Amino acid sequence: MIAIVDYGVGNLFSLQSSFAAIGAEACVTGDAEKILAADRVVLPGVGAFGDAAALLKSTGLDETVREAARAGKPLLGICLGMQLLLEQSLEYGTHAGLGLVPGTVRPIRPMIPAEYKVPHIGWNALCFSEDKPVHPLFSRIRPGDCVYFVHSYYADSPDEAIIARAEYGPLLTAAVARDNVMGVQFHPEKSGAVGLSILRAFCEME
């Protein structure tokens, strides 16, 4: 069973439908016991980091997500959910994240050419480092496969935590990982067959 964490934000039911499309059983829940009993956990999210972090904390699910990570369950953050995994965000102030993956969430505007629009919306190819093996999350896709992004902020993480990048002017972080905790800036549930392949790989991880 996959637990999709319901703390008031996120594309919960489209994500649940994507798992159903690959034959995986997923439930949308804000129940800490159900989350901790699940085999794997997904943390979705859309909107502003500060508001989402406050909601997660007010429900007590911030500690539930940390506990699931400590238990070694495969944990996947999606879009804002990925950003929440990091140490902090600089979106409209400074806000603490879950601290499960090193890094700071920063605005993309200073990083990209002036003619590029913010937010970054659209399909971009995933790029993998030639210096390390492709992460198991991407075992079912190929370099250059495209996924769908909608974001104005990116994860400024150390190289060892970055498992994929995408070009939007410069190469920006597309995915991060540390041990059993992973995060993707893009939306696999909106990325067609490639996104479903990524979700299937997540379901196969021990």
Q: In this structure, how many other beta carbons lie within 10 angstroms of the beta carbon of residue 192?
A: 14
Residue range 177-196: mean pLDDT, rounded: 98
Q: Specify the pLDDT at position 206.
A: 84
The reported pTM is 0.97
Confidence band, pLDDT 50/70/90 cuts, at residue 9: confident
**The predicted structure's pLDDT at residue 103:** 98
**Domain locations along the chain:** 2-91+103-204
Give me the catalytic one of 79, 95, 135, 203: 79
pLDDT single digits (tens) 84-114: 999 999 999 999 999 999 999 999 999 999 9
63 labelled catalytic: no
Q: How many Å apart are CA 28 and CA 17, to the nearest integer?
A: 11
Dump pLDDT digits (tens) for 10-49: 779 899 999 999 999 999 999 999 999 999 999 999 899 9
Active site includes 189?
yes
Q: Which of 91, 120, 151, 189 is catalytic?
A: 189
Q: What is the pLDDT of residues 114-154, one digit of tens each?
A: 999 999 999 999 999 989 999 999 999 999 999 999 999 99
For residue range 157-182, what is the model confidence (pLDDT) as tens digits? 999 999 999 999 999 999 999 999 99
Is domain 2-91+103-204 classified as CATH 3.40.50.880? yes
Q: Which of 95, 120, 135, 187 is catalytic?
A: 187
The answer to whether 50 and 93 are in contact (CB under 8 A) is yes
187 is catalytic: yes
Strands 88-89 and 95-96, sheet pairing:
antiparallel
